[in-house]
Amino acid sequence: VDLERIFDDLVRLETRWWNDLDTRLRRGGDVPLGTLNVLQVLDAVRPCRVQDVAQALEISVGGASQAVDRVEAKGFCVRTPNPADRRSSVLDLTDAGRDALARARPRVGEGLREFLAALPDDRVEEFGRTLAELRSALTKE
Amino acid sequence: VDLERIFDDLVRLETRWWNDLDTRLRRGGDVPLGTLNVLQVLDAVRPCRVQDVAQALEISVGGASQAVDRVEAKGFCVRTPNPADRRSSVLDLTDAGRDALARARPRVGEGLREFLAALPDDRVEEFGRTLAELRSALTKE
DNA sequence: AAAGATTGACTTGTCAATCTTA
DNA sequence: TAAGATTGACAAGTCAATCTTT
């Protein structure tokens, strides 16, 4: 098996899907895909701190802090002092943030359905299982 | 099937693998992974222009031009005026570039073997086939 | 001291405008 | 006019240094 080829295909596929989805979102007047990812984390993880965003997106804490800055500057979330630990803040979606999330999410779904239409359902499932296993194998290191 | 979860796992897996491999390379005194990718294209595609790098890496032409700038600044490739079309240059690896490529490549292989050790061989093969199919489905659009 | 977060300097990508040659 | 490439302004990540609170 040619592992370098697998890695190359993984990276390029991710690049193309990311850029294509991001372009769709921007053209449709929605938030960029990076912003959407943050909104999804804020919606799914509660309570949510900067650290939780970093972990969910597999990026550095510094990067997550800056990403939250941008989302907050657009009025999509607020930092509230954390009563349990004053070193951190709790991040909460605003109504505008929830609206942006609700508008953008379906567009991503559309794109993904098109991308994966090339594959029969059982292989899509298998693909998802494999990705999940490879990812969970990593976090155990 | 949860397509959003598949996309999320794809993006995060790529992020982790990329960052882990890049860290290994830098720690070992080798070129960064982005540079290695360019070297691999210059080695595989001949003759190679900036446009070919952009296509192979699925990045913009502007980004490819800058990436080649960096590789050239490190002395790993040279731009030679293209006799067949004077709008473009032909890119060639230098001896130093070939050395850097030969040193870095095996380290990436090591990392990938570790990452994929979590999976039996037949599923690694299947994973590779799926990635290739999904990618080729894209280029036809 | 260690943990959470922020900040500044840097890397590497995008896009739009521009230049040169076809 | 279009194609190949370059450039400058900007976007979004990394890391290391720092600040505050535990």
Q: How confident is the model at residue B141 (pLDDT cuts 50, 70, 90)?
A: low
Give the CA A63 to C1' D13 distance in Å.
Answer: 6
Of A2, A3, A14, the CB nearest to B10: A14
**Chain centre distance of CA B110:** 16
Amino acid at A135: R
Q: Per-residue pLDDT averaged across B116-124, rounded?
A: 97
| The pLDDT of residue B123 | 98
Structure confidence by residue, pLDDT tens digits, B37-93: 999 999 999 999 999 999 999 999 999 999 999 999 999 999 999 999 999 999 999
Chain C nucleotides covered by protein, CB below 7 Å: 3-8, 11-17, 20-22
Q: Which protein residues have a C-beta closer than 7 A to any atom of strand D?
A: A 32, 34-35, 57-60, 62-64, 66-67, 70, 85-87; B 15, 19, 23, 49-51, 61-62, 65-66, 68-69, 79, 82, 85, 87-89
Q: How confident is the model at residue A75 (pLDDT cuts 50, 70, 90)?
A: very high
Query: Of all helices (H) and strands (E), which one includes residue B105?
Result: helix B95-116
pLDDT of A141 over the 70 cut: no
Q: Per-residue pLDDT averaged across A57-84, rounded?
A: 98
Cβ contacts of A132 on chain B, cutoff 8 Å: 5, 9
Cβ contacts of B53 on chain A, cutoff 8 Å: none
Angle, helices B121-139/A121-139, rounded to nearest 10 degrees: 120
CA distance B102 to A8: 17
Q: Convert chain A into a string of H (helix), E (strand) and C (coil).
A: CCHHHHHHHHHHHHHHHHHHHHHHHHHCCCCCHHHHHHHHHHHHCCCECHHHHHHHHCCCHHHHHHHHHHHHHCCCEEEEECCCCCCCEEEEECHHHHHHHHHHHHHHHHHHHHHHCCCCHHHHHHHHHHHHHHHHHHHCC
Of B4, B58, B130, the CB nearest to A127: B130
Cβ neighbours of residue A88 under 8 Å, at least 6 residues apart?
A: A49, A50, A51, A82
Are the Cβ atoms of A9 and B132 closer than 8 angstroms? Answer: yes
| Main-chain dihedrals φ then ψ at residue A82, nearest 5 degrees | -80, 115
Q: How confident is the model at residue A139 (pLDDT cuts 50, 70, 90)?
A: confident
Structure confidence by residue, pLDDT tens digits, B6-48: 999 999 999 999 999 999 999 999 999 999 999 999 999 999 9
Cβ neighbours of residue B5 under 8 Å, at least 6 residues apart?
A: A128, A132
Percent of chain A topping pLDDT 90: 97
Give the CA A61 to C1' C4 distance in Å.
Answer: 9
pLDDT of B139 over the 80 cut: no
CA distance B115 to B98: 26
Cβ contacts of A121 on chain B, cutoff 8 Å: 1
Indicate the average pLDDT of chain A. Answer: 97
Q: Which of B49, B128, B57 is nearest to B90 (CA)?
A: B49
Are the Cβ atoms of B116 and A6 closer than 8 angstroms? Answer: yes
Residue at shortest CA–C1' distance from D13: A63
What's the pTM value of the predicted model, to 2 decimals? Answer: 0.96
Structure confidence by residue, pLDDT tens digits, A79-128: 999 999 999 999 999 999 999 999 999 999 999 999 999 999 999 999 99
